[in-house]
Amino acid sequence: MELNKFQWTREPADYKINEASIEITTKPHTDLWQRTYYHFQNDNAPVLQMNTDEKFFSFVVKTDFQESHCRFDQCGIVMYLDSENWLKASIEYENDQFQHLGSVVTNGGFSDWATTVIDASVKSMWYRFSRREDDYCIECSEDGTSFQQMRVCHMANGAGNISFGVYACSPEDSSFKAVFSNMELMECQWKAHDGQQPDKA
């Protein structure tokens, strides 16, 4: 994948990019979150993205986070449109026993968080981000071959040109190295729905 098409939103102080991988070393107190439940707004995580107006595609990336060790350390995929409209998927470290595999969708300045608990021994995960016009699907995989659906969502501002890519952050007093590899842009793997027909206008 042509990494020269990617641009930083909040360039991190410490990172490395080569043909095979992207490494981001997080800074403490970096995060992406808007309002809901916690009533705070954090919008300072480094994001590396490319732009597209393609309506149907899938983006795959492998994440490695061997060094994650503090609560909420995270890295994964992101579609960051602006501070109040974005989505992300990642594994967030919790403790030495379990972590949260989940996704956040933020529309109009309010975030949600959908999660499931996984074992703390998991230190690598693949994600597949797919677009069908202004609807999106996020999937995950432990082997890069068999993907499981995490989330289907609609983005209110996601119908036109979008930006998507990867991010890493450490919301608490922590720092770790996140590694992204095996990035691939491909034909949309999220097939058209084959059940109930759309409602007539």
Question: Contact, 33 vs 104, CB < 8 A?
Answer: yes
DSSP state at residue 191: P
- 38: exposed, middle or buried (Cβ count in 10 Å: 0-12, 13-18, 19+): exposed
Q: How far is CA 130 from CA 35, 55, 171, 184, 192, in A?
A: 26, 10, 27, 12, 12
192 inside domain: no
174 inside domain: yes
What value does the mean pLDDT take over residues 15-36? 96
34 inside domain: yes
What value does the mean pLDDT take over residues 109-126? 97
Tell me: the pLDDT tens digits for 176-195? 999 999 999 999 999 999 88
| Per-residue model confidence (pLDDT) at position 201 | 66
- Token pair recorded at residue 132: 């069908």
What percent of the chain has a predicted confidence (pLDDT) above 70? 100
Cα–Cα distance for residue pair 192/190, rounded to 1 Å:
7
- At 145 the three-state DSSP class reads coil
| CB contact burial 189-198 (16+ within 10 A = b; e otherwise) | ebeeeeeeee
82 inside domain: yes
Cα–Cα distance for residue pair 79/154, rounded to 1 Å:
12
19 inside domain: yes
Q: Is the pLDDT of residue 101 over 80?
A: yes
199 inside domain: no
Tell me: the pLDDT tens digits for 151-172? 999 999 999 999 999 999 999 9
| Per-residue model confidence (pLDDT) at position 143 | 97
Dihedral pair phi/psi, residue 70, rounded to 5°: -120, 150
Instruction: State the residue range of the domain holding 97.
Output: 3-186
pTM: 0.96
pLDDT band per the 50, 70, 90 thresholds, residue 197: confident
| Per-residue model confidence (pLDDT) at position 2 | 85
Number of domains in the chain: 1
Identify the CATH number of the domain in which residue 45 sits. Answer: 2.60.120.200
Question: Contact, 146 vs 70, CB < 8 A?
Answer: no
pLDDT band per the 50, 70, 90 thresholds, residue 136: very high
Average pLDDT, the chain: 96
Tell me: the pLDDT tens digits for 34-84? 999 989 999 999 999 999 999 999 999 999 999 999 999 999 999 999 999
128 inside domain: yes
- At 70 the three-state DSSP class reads coil
